[in-house]
């Protein structure tokens, strides 16, 4: 019996690798950023930043949420409604399963985040862990938020109100490394 359980777990692990690899290749082929998990250090820094600069935020959207770890962490540590936007089918399925096990109350929506933001309700804060080939698009949606927080990569078209050095670590996009930083754009001013 134990051998069957071990064989099943190995099968699930191999299936995960195959499907994740297929999504990764699809992202590369469609010039999208493949899923990158947010480090605990980044999650903590995002929550500290929200609680420091906008403690009364009631609605937060995680744009490109991946497996939803950042969205769940925000939901557990901020008193706000959290919406997670993701467009990759396998990634969103994992996110929904993880959310169910974590018992957090986030709304997970499978969609193209930028299409969703065109007609969505306004959010207090938008959080995005996207790459340099995508972040620039956030500049078009400044009227949708009171604050935008980007992880590691700035929005070139906007001047951040605060840049928070998170410390050790970086994210690699192509040939370039981006040190862990938060770029905060307070749009209320």
If DSSP states are collapsed to H, E and C, what string results for 6-59?
HHHHHHHHHHHHHHHHHHHHHHHHCCCCCCCCCCHHHHHHHHHHHHHHCCCCCE
Q: What is the mean pLDDT of the chain?
A: 85
Least confident of 24-33, 97-106, 137-146, 147-156: 24-33
* Of residues 39 and 121, more confidently modeled: 121
User: With 90 as the cut, is the pLDDT of residue 92 above it?
Assistant: no
User: With 60 as the cut, is the pLDDT of residue 34 above it?
Assistant: no
Averaged pLDDT, 112-124 = 92
- CA dist 156 → 18, 38, 152, 167, 188 (Å): 35, 21, 12, 22, 19
Least confident of 20-34, 38-52, 67-81: 20-34
Q: What is the pLDDT of residue 91?
A: 76
User: With 90 as the cut, is the pLDDT of residue 20 above it?
Assistant: no
Q: Please tell me the pTM assigned to this model.
A: 0.83
* Confidence band for 4, pLDDT divided at 50, 70 and 90: confident
User: With 70 as the cut, is the pLDDT of residue 23 above it?
Assistant: no
User: With 60 as the cut, is the pLDDT of residue 130 above it?
Assistant: yes
Lookup result for tokens 């998990």: 37
What is the per-residue pLDDT across 155-187, written as a single tens digit (0 to 9) for each? 999 999 999 999 888 777 777 888 889 999 999
Contact 20, 89 (CB under 8 A): no
């Amino acid at each position: 019996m134990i051998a069957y359980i071990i064989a099943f777990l190995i099968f699930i692990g191999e299936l995960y690798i195959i499907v994740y690899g297929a999504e990764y290749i699809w992202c590369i082929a469609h010039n999208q950023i493949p899923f990158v998990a947010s480090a605990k250090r980044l999650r903590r820094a995002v929550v500290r930043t929200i609680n420091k600069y906008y403690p009364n935020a009631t609605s937060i959207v995680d744009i490109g949420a991946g497996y939803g770890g950042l969205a769940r962490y925000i939901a557990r540590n901020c008193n706000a409604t959290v919406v997670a936007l993701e467009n990759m089918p396998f990634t969103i399925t994992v996110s929904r399963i993880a959310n169910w096990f974590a018992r957090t109350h986030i709304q997970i929506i499978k969609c193209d985040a930028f299409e969703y933001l065109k007609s969505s309700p306004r959010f207090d804060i938008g959080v995005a862990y996207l790459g340099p080939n995508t972040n620039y698009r956030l500049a078009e949606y400044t009227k949708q938020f009171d604050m935008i927080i980007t992880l590691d990569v700035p929005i070139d078209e906007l001047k951040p109100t605060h840049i928070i050095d998170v410390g050790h670590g970086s994210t690699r996009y192509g040939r370039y490394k981006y040190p862990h930083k938060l770029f905060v754009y307070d749009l209320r001013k």
